[in-house]
């Protein structure tokens, strides 16, 4: 009984130490996402976006499509399938002209903070817009 109490007490002290001195007390992914979004400006190269917001898990190349609407061919741009993100892979693709319509990153920091960054063919930011989150779906957005 005494040994069990000592083990529980030791685990409690270790947990408190990790929480207070390990940086978990101040960890706020929503604030981190808001700060990253605020740091991104139109015209900024994608490498600066990566430095400000971190590496996304994947990216999507924008593709030009056409569709017949009321007898007329209408051109539009839509995101293609997602590609696994690596800095070297994206560098090669942009340098080789593999993104003629541009590309986009989607960042998800929490259930209430997510945004998309759209880039042109040379890798400069065109727009930053909020992405739909669980908080939007549940109508709990701040």
Q: What mean pLDDT do residues 64-79 have?
A: 89
On whether residue 15 sits in a domain, the answer given is no
On whether residue 59 sits in a domain, the answer given is yes
**pLDDT score of 47:** 93
**pLDDT score of 81:** 92
Count how many domains the chain has. 1
Does residue 116 have a pLDDT over 80? yes
User: For the whole model, what pTM was predicted?
Assistant: 0.74
On whether residue 3 sits in a domain, the answer given is no
Q: What mean pLDDT do residues 10-32 have?
A: 68
**Enclosing domain of residue 82:** 28-137
Crossing angle of helices 29-39 and 46-53, in 10° steps, is 160
- Helix (H) / strand (E) containing 137: helix 134-137
Separation between Cα atoms, residue 133 and residue 126, nearest integer Å? 22
Does residue 141 have a pLDDT over 70? no
**Residue 114 and residue 31 in contact, taking contact as beta carbons nearer than 8 Å:** no
């Amino acid at each position: 009984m005494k040994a069990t109490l000592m083990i529980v007490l030791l685990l409690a002290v270790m947990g408190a130490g990790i929480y207070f001195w390990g940086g978990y007390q101040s960890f706020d992914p929503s604030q981190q996402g808001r700060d990253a979004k605020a740091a991104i400006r139109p015209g900024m190269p994608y490498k600066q976006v990566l430095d400000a917001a971190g590496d996304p898990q994947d990216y999507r190349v924008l593709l030009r499509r056409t569709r017949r609407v009321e007898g007329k061919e209408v051109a539009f741009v839509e995101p293609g399938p997602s590609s696994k993100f690596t800095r070297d892979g994206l560098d090669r693709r942009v340098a080789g002209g593999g993104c003629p319509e541009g590309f986009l990153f989607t960042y998800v920091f929490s259930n209430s903070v997510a945004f998309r960054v759209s880039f042109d063919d040379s890798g400069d930011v065109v727009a930053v817009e909020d992405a739909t989150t669980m908080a939007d779906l549940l109508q709990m957005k701040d």
